[in-house]
Every structure is written in C-alpha cells, then in structure tokens.
C-alpha cells in the first residue's frame, strides 16, 4: 500500500514508532472473474486497490473512496472477503517508517467509470485472470492478502482439490454459476446436458436409456460425470459439475470426494418468482448440439417435486440480481479454497 496523505500527517504527529492502522482493500471483478489491480508509483509493484481508513470514515466508505482515487471507478461493494492482519501485513517504508495494517477486504464490481491510473499514487491499471496474477511483481503484503482470501492459488495451491457441484432446476442459472466457479478455480466445468448430448446421434443407445427403469438419462449422465470428476480429483485438480442432481447423486458425489480426500462444495440454485423462472426457461438458447431444451410445462412439473433440502453450502435465488449472486459465490469460494489449504 502506498503512503497516503493521511498516514503522512499521522506519522508527523506520532513519530517513527510502529503504527497499527486500520485499512481497507477492494477487489473489483468483471464478468469473466478477472480482478482489477493497480500499479503503485512508489514501488512499481502491482497491488490491490486500498489504503488507510480515514477519521470518521467507515471501511465501506474508505473502499469506495480508494477505488475512485486510485483507479477512477465507482464500485458497488459486495460481501467482506476477509479481515486480515499479522506479521505479513507489516510494511517498512524507505524512510524507515513501519506500519502494521489490519485490512478489511471487500468484493466489488465496477458500477461506473473506466479504470485509469491517477498518475499520483498509481501509474497503471489492469484486469488479471486469477490463474495469471503478476505475483512476481507484487509486494509481500499484496501476495499475503490474495493468499489469505483464497485468490493467489499459484503461490499456495490447496492441499485438497475442490469438487464443486452446482445443481437446481433448469432455468435457475446453474450454468452461469458453474462457469463463474470454474473461472475462479481455473477448473474444468463438466455439464450433464453436454455429456449426454454426445449420445444423441446413436439410436441404439437412446433406446437402451428409454428402456431403463427409472429412465436412464439422469443415471447414466451422472455416472459419466462422476468418472470424469474422479479423473480430475486423482490429478489433485479442482472440478465443477453442472446439472440437475437429486439427493442420491449428490450424496454419491459427496462420498466420492470424501474417499479422495477432496473438499465437496454443493451450490444449489432456485427461482422463487414463478414468472421470472418461466421467462428464463422459455428464453433459453444454450446452443448444445443435438439437444432439445425442456418446455416450461416440464419444468413446472418438476418444481412441485424438487427437493431443495440437500445440505447446501450456498443457495442462490435467480430472482435476485445476478451481480449479487455472483458476489456471494465469490465470497463463498474464497472461504472454501482457504478451507482446502
């Protein structure tokens, strides 16, 4: 973190003793899961946006102010990703001043403005994917912060791989959530419908599926996905699964993750507003080859039989704004990655 004018003024009053300073950091993200970083003029390092909380200012106000000052954007804050501190958050500046920061870290999206440096504290801005962060061009505090909120996977890979299952009825946003989770983990996303679409050109296989009791489409699809997921876990790699899974499939995947020493995460999606749900189903065009989307009447029938009590780690409602749901997902992902380390 650069030395802000407020910190300079405070230093002039208290001298050169170690200064414990509350501060804030904000992590704006785009639709691809990339995070916005700034390059500091005093060190040339890339860093997260942030700085000291000023008198009579809340951490939220400080985060919004710092984003405007350092990157020229107005941010919409999401959940707190963590409050971090300790030995890794001590900074000794070239003039000998030493500060111990306690940082409140916020998730965020850009609400207005085009990112640009202020040419005072920052000289450059940039969006970075999580699997290509410039860790070798960051200070130790920034690397520690990204590590502690679960984003700097290159420097501290999880000891346990994550198996993330995103399930819910069609039209509740599963695929969008699964793709975002995959981007955050740099993990493959395996879709039940995409897997089964590969069997559509073979009539003999379709006849065999129809002859199974119960109808074999779901069972066979989840058997394929479970095997593919197992191959990833055996490589100690994370994997995300996307599809309509019922309790037996969920528990089978949970058991497989336990056996493989993986962290199992269940994300369920729903839509509390029937009108919104219907419009989403009727407007779906996923472009899956050889695949026919379900009609609303079929999904409506499933709503009555759907059992949402699946011991979810996170439940998301498609009737809520997508940005809000993605913010909750990112906050949860940071905790799950940290839990797997």
Whether 85 is in a domain gets the answer yes
Residues 39-92 have pLDDT tens digits of 999 888 999 999 999 999 999 999 999 999 999 999 999 999 999 998 889 887
Residue 195 sits in the same domain as residue 230: yes
Separation in Å, CA 82 to CA 103, 123, 226:
8, 27, 33
**Those residues with Cβ within 8 angstroms of residue 171's Cβ, 6 or more apart along the chain or in another chain:** 271, 277, 278, 280, 281, 284, 299, 318
DSSP assignment of 3-29: --HHHHHHHHHHTTS-EEEEEEEEEEB
CA-wise closest residue to 252 among 231, 222, 215, 220 = 222
> Average pLDDT, whole number, for the chain?
86
Tokens of 163: 């198996």
Q: Tell me the CATH number at 173.
A: 3.40.50.300
Look at residue 48 and give its three-state secondary structure. coil
**Residue that finishes a domain, picked among 104, 125, 148:** 148
Judge whether 67 and 26 are in contact, CB under 8 Å: yes
In a domain, 153, yes or no: no
pLDDT in tens, 160-178: 889 999 999 989 999 999 9
**C-alpha span between 192 and 264 (Å, rounded):** 18
224, two tokens? 């394929």
- d(CA 341, CA 339) in angstroms, rounded, equals 6
pLDDT tens-digit map of 256-295: 999 999 999 999 999 999 999 998 888 887 778 877 777 8
Read off the tokens for 300: 């409506």
Whether residues 130 and 194 share a domain: the answer is no
* 207 and 78 in a common domain: no
How far, CA to CA in Å, does 273 sit from each of 79, 284, 313, 325?
24, 17, 22, 15
Last residue of a domain, one of 148, 181, 212: 148
Q: Does the pLDDT value for residue 11 go beyond 50?
A: no
| 203 plus 322 within the same structural domain | yes
Is residue 327 domain-shared with residue 192, that is, in the same domain?
A: yes
In this structure, the answer to whether residues 169 and 109 fall within a common structural domain is: no
Asked if the structure places residue 156 within a domain, the reply is: no
Dist. CA 252–CA 269, nearest whole Å: 19
Nearest Cα residue to 145 out of 58, 79, 83? 83
Q: What CA–CA distance (Å, rounded) separates 231 from 190? A: 12
Task: Give the SS3 label for residue 336.
Answer: helix
- 302 is a domain residue: yes
Enter the tokens of residue 325: 């749901």
Residue 221 confidence (pLDDT): 87
Which residues constitute the domain of residue 257? 162-340
Are residues 174 and 315 in contact, defined by beta-carbon separation less than 8 angstroms?
Answer: no
Residue 229 has pLDDT above 60, yes or no: yes
101/91 Cα distance (integer angstroms): 8
Distance from C-alpha of 179 to C-alpha of 35, rounded to nearest angstrom: 16
Would residue 154 count as lying in a domain? no
Ramachandran sector of residue 168 (left: φ over 0; alpha: ψ -120 to 50; beta: rest): left
Residue 131 sits in the same domain as residue 13: yes
Helix (H) or strand (E) segment spanning residue 327: helix 322-340
Do 140 and 258 sit in the same domain of this protein? no
Tell me which of 185-199, 232-246, 266-280, 292-306 is least confident: 292-306
Query: Six-digit token pair at 39?
Result: 């390059």
The answer to whether the beta carbons of residues 240 and 189 sit under 8 Å apart is yes
Phi, psi dihedrals of residue 115, rounded to the nearest 5°: -55, 130
Same domain, 35 and 131: yes
Write out pLDDT tens, residues 280-333.
Answer: 888 887 778 877 777 888 888 777 777 666 789 999 999 999 988 998 898 888
In a domain, 157, yes or no: no
214 and 274 part of one domain: yes
Q: What percent of the chain has pLDDT over 70?
A: 89
- Note whether 19 and 99 are same-domain residues: yes
Number of domains, the chain: 2
Nearest CA to 274 among 282, 264, 266?
282
State the pLDDT at residue 145.
Answer: 93
**pLDDT-based confidence at residue 337 (cuts at 50, 70, 90):** confident
Does residue 155 lie within any of the structural domains? no
128-132, 179-183, 208-212: range with lowest mean pLDDT: 208-212
What single DSSP character describes residue 88?
G
One DSSP character per residue, 207-261 reads HHHHHSSS-HHHHHHHHHHHHHHHHHHHTT--EEEES---HHHHHHHHHHHHHTT
Compute the average pLDDT of residues 177-206: 88
**Confidence band, pLDDT 50/70/90 cuts, at residue 156:** very low
Q: How many residues does the chain have?
A: 341
- At 60, which CATH number? 3.90.79.10
Residues 171 and 139 in one domain: no
Q: Which of 114, 148, 182 is the last residue of a domain?
A: 148
Order of strands across the sheet with 46-47? 46-47, 35-40, 122-128
Look at residue 238 and tell me if it is in a domain: yes
CA dist., res. 52 & res. 74, Å (int): 18
Decide if pLDDT at 158 tops 60. no
């Amino acid at each position: 973190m650069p030395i802000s004018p407020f910190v300079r003024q405070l230093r002039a009053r208290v001298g050169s003793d170690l200064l414990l300073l509350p501060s804030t950091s904000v992590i704006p993200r785009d639709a691809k899961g990339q995070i916005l970083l700034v390059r500091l003029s005093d060190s040339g390092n890339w860093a997260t946006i942030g700085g000291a909380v000023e008198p009579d200012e809340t951490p939220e106000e400080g985060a919004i102010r710092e984003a405007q000052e350092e990157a020229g954007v107005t941010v919409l804050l999401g959940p707190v990703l963590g409050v971090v501190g300790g030995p890794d958050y001590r900074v000794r500046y070239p003039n000998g001043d030493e500060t111990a920061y306690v940082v409140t870290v916020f998730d965020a999206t850009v609400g207005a403005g085009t990112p640009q440096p202020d040419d005072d504290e920052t000289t450059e801005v940039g969006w970075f994917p999580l699997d290509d962060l410039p860790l070798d061009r960051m200070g130790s505090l920034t690397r520690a912060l990204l590590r502690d909120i679960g984003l700097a996977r290159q420097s501290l890979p999880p000891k346990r791989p994550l198996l993330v299952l995103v399930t819910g009825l069609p039209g509740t946003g599963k695929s969008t959530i699964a793709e975002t989770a995959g981007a955050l983990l740099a993990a493959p996303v395996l879709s039940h419908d995409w897997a089964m679409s590969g069997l559509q050109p073979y009539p003999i296989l379709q006849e065999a599926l129809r002859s199974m009791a119960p109808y074999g489409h779901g069972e066979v699809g989840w058997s394929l996905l479970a095997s593919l997921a197992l191959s990833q876990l055996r490589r100690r790699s994370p994997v995300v699964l996307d599809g309509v899974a019922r309790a037996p499939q969920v528990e089978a995947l949970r058991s497989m993750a336990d056996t493989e020493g993986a962290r199992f995460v269940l994300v369920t999606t729903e839509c509390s507003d029937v009108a919104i749900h219907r419009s989403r189903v009727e407007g779906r065009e996923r472009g899956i080859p050889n695949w026919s989307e379900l009609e609303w009447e079929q999904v409506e029938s499933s709503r009555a039989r759907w059992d949402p009590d699946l011991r979810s780690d996170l439940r998301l409602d498609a009737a809520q704004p997508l940005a809000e749901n993605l913010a909750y997902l990112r906050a949860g992902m940071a905790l799950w990655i940290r839990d797997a380390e």
